[in-house]
Amino acid sequence: MCVLITGAAGFIGSHLVERLLARGERVIGIDNFDPFYSPEEKWQNLAAALRHPAFRLIEADCAELDELERALGDSHVDVVVHLAAKAGVRPSIQDPLGYVRANLLGTQAMLELARRRGVGRFVFASSSSVYGNNEKVPFSEDDPVEHPISPYAATKRAGELLCHTYHHLYGMSVLCLRFFTVYGPRQRPDLAIRKFATLMLEGRPIPFYGDGTSERDYTWIDDVLEGVLAAIDRTASTAAPEYEIINLGESKTTSLSRLVELIADSLGTTPTLERLPMQPGDVRRTYADVSKARRLLAYQPTTPVEVGIPRFSAWLRSRGSPPSTLGTQTRHSPRTVDARGATRAHAPTASNAPPGPA
């Protein structure tokens, strides 16, 4: 089986690449190394995969359909896993047009790529952000999601609707996976757990929004990967094409105050808090009902934050000084990298807001 993964150099994407290669699949990864955070760090994420003969990397923009077609050539693809997106609630408020281009046009382009190539299996990375400030907990896939409170959330919900359209029109099997605050090794540096831990190690204050009672359903990376792998397999196993939206979370909430306490304890530090008001676009809580994931994917999350946070802190300490989190907005011609380190350049196209990895 050949799996095409977008956002392959990102946090979740790079782990998924390695898991698929380990079980004997061929993988084509697509990433444009968007400078939302260090491109160097993303290349490090793929260091092992780039040495594997069954992995091929295409450095290109998901929203540029024609250049992707040229880069793929006559490559056969069995299933598309679309993880690439501009991520983050607060940044989306500052750059809504960039998020629309990356997350809507990028998703539309990947669905169209699948249709043109006769790929009938598609897995889409959505987000718990679509639930907004849902009062009912835990959040169920059947809950109404017509009131997103950030451009990021709106683009993720719109992506789910585009996926349904392609399922309806072209008979694709599509699973939309709503991720709930995934963390673990290689987590993006802007996300709370890594950001807080890094600041604590540097002896700097951490931004503490609100009164500490906001809650998140933190999900360990390996638990999420099991769900994604099961979703990939399910798209090939059903008798008829299906469209499903499925929550992937830990189904347990942790308050902001408790999270800071767990990180500080695991690092042996005493945190200094910079108390700030709640930010526009932030939700009060996330909490996944995973009964559907258990039923359809045999999903069984096993890593509570009390176990995951110390594991994450050990990883962060082991990696030493990280590369700069600041990238350079450079648009290269798309290129392909294989296990031998060879590169092939493709025709360049202009792009001012390429989507980053998921």
Which one from 152, 183, 287, 299 is the annotated catalytic residue?
152
Instruction: Provide Rg for the chain, Cα atoms.
Output: 19
37 classed as catalytic: no
Tell me the domains of the chain and their CATH numbers.
Answer: 2-180+221-249+288-301+329-345 (3.40.50.720)
Tens of pLDDT, residues 236-288: 999 999 999 999 999 999 999 999 999 999 999 999 999 999 888 888 999 99
Average pLDDT, the chain: 91
From CA 307, how far away is CA 16, in angstroms rounded?
21
From CA 112, how far away is CA 69, in angstroms rounded?
11
pLDDT at 335: 64
Q: Burial of 120 by CB count in 10 Å (0-12 exposed, 13-18 middle, 19+ buried)?
A: buried
pTM of the model: 0.90
Angle at 173 between CA 167 and CA 176, to 5 degrees: 85
* Number of Cβ atoms within 10 Å of the Cβ of 60: 26
Asked if 79 contacts 120 with a C-beta cutoff of 8 angstroms, the reply is no
pLDDT at 341: 54
Instruction: Check whether the bond before 138 is cis (ω within 30° of 0).
Output: yes
Residues 6+ away with beta carbon under 8 Å from 145:
130, 131, 132, 134, 157
Judged by average pLDDT, the poorest of 179-188, 221-230, 296-305, 330-339 is: 330-339
* Structure confidence at residue 234 as a pLDDT band (50, 70, 90): very high
pLDDT at 333 over 60: no
pLDDT at 281: 82
Tens of pLDDT, residues 96-151: 999 999 999 999 999 999 999 999 999 999 999 999 999 899 999 999 999 999 99
Distances in whole angstroms, Cα of residue 170 to Cα of each of 64, 69, 279: 22, 19, 41
Residue closest to 55 by CA, chosen among 333, 337, 346, 357: 337
Mean pLDDT throughout 45-49? 98
Distances in whole angstroms, Cα of residue 222 to Cα of each of 18, 181, 191, 228: 12, 13, 17, 10
pLDDT at 280: 87
Mean pLDDT throughout 74-84? 97
